[in-house]
Structure 1
Amino acid sequence: MEDKSRGSEVDRASAVLARMAATGHVLGCGEGWFPLISELDRQLANLDPAYGLFRVGRVDGALVFDAKPSVPELAAQFSALIYVTARRASAVCEVCGGDGELRTIHGLAEVLCAAHQAAAERAESRRLVGRKPMGMVSDQVP
């Protein structure tokens, strides 16, 4: 059976992607946050259809939405809407959109649900298998 929700989340983010393509930038967060950023884009575009969007991503597990209104008088409203959305994102799994919390896996901070945390930990463990500790040249014991 086809996962129709995945396609609809990408469709919901299409306006954001188009706005970012116009500035030469790309989307840098997981699909679980697409509904949040799509709603934020809609709210900002209602205030200022010509606003500039320069970055959507994640830094230290937090949503970053770098937008600039074309009318400076809207800056405070933009900041407030972005702040509220970033706070909401701090409790939403970046992968699936379910309930999540900030988790750090091998130095990477992300907002994940328990299931996606476990999957990320398994993937990172598999990646690390077979790697030699720093400074080791061979398997021989000195």
Structure 2
Amino acid sequence: MSTSSSDDPFAQVRSRFAPRWEPRVRCGEGWAPLLVELDRAIAAVSPATEYIHIKEKHAQLIVLVSPPANAEVRELIDAAAAKAQSTCENCGAAGVPHEKFGWVHVLCPRCAARDGYSPK
């Protein structure tokens, strides 16, 4: 079953994964605009760069690329990760780290309350 890009907010990003890596983005759709913006910026400065891993871990955006990021690509990734620290992973609204049973995610107050998370 294929997913059209209109159904998949990460379609553009998934299309630039390195061939041997599963094109899986492991974070909430609230970070999709950040990742699409990052992807466009990376493609502009380093078209050969491909993703090998994109995920959320401990409320942080992790992006690994191949070939290893040069300084310009690293700055772009770091800037996106910094924006993610204040963006709800679920809906994209302003957020802060919240915790539940040891799991930490950046969430807005509405998503945190809905899912039973408390501010960290």
| TM-score normalised by length of structure 1 | 0.71
**How many residues are matched?**
112
Shift of 1:17: 1.2
- The code of the aligned residue for 1:108 comes to W
SS in 1 for 2:87: coil
- Root-mean-square deviation (CA, aligned residues, Å) is 2.1
Q: 1:53 to 1:64 in 2, by over 3 A?
A: same
Partner of 2:81: 86
- The code of the aligned residue for 2:15 comes to A
Unaligned runs of 5+ in 2: none
Q: How does 1:19-98 map to 2 (within 5 A)?
A: 19-20=16-17, 22-25=19-22, 26-69=24-67, 75-98=70-93
Q: Whose radius of gyration is greater, 1 or 2?
A: 1
Q: Does residue 1:14 correspond to 2:40, yes or no?
A: no
| TM-score normalised by length of structure 2 | 0.83
Q: Percent identity?
A: 32
Name the CA distance, whole Å, in 1 between partners of 2:40 and 2:19.
17
Name the CA distance, whole Å, in 2 between partners of 1:57 and 1:92.
15
Structure with a larger share of its residues in strand = 2
Shift of 1:100: 0.4
Whether contact under 8 Å (2:16, 2:50) holds in the other structure is: yes
| Structure 1 consecutive aligned stretches of length 4 or more whose deviation exceeds 2 Å | 7-11, 20-25
Whether contact under 8 Å (1:29, 1:57) holds in the other structure is: yes
Unaligned runs of 5+ in 1: 1-6, 123-142
Structure with a larger share of its residues in helix = 1
- The code of the aligned residue for 1:33 comes to W
Q: How does 1:115-134 map to 2 (within 5 A)?
A: 115-121=110-116
Name the CA distance, whole Å, in 2 between partners of 1:59 and 1:15.
22
Name the CA distance, whole Å, in 1 between partners of 2:41 and 2:7.
17
Shift of 1:10: 2.9
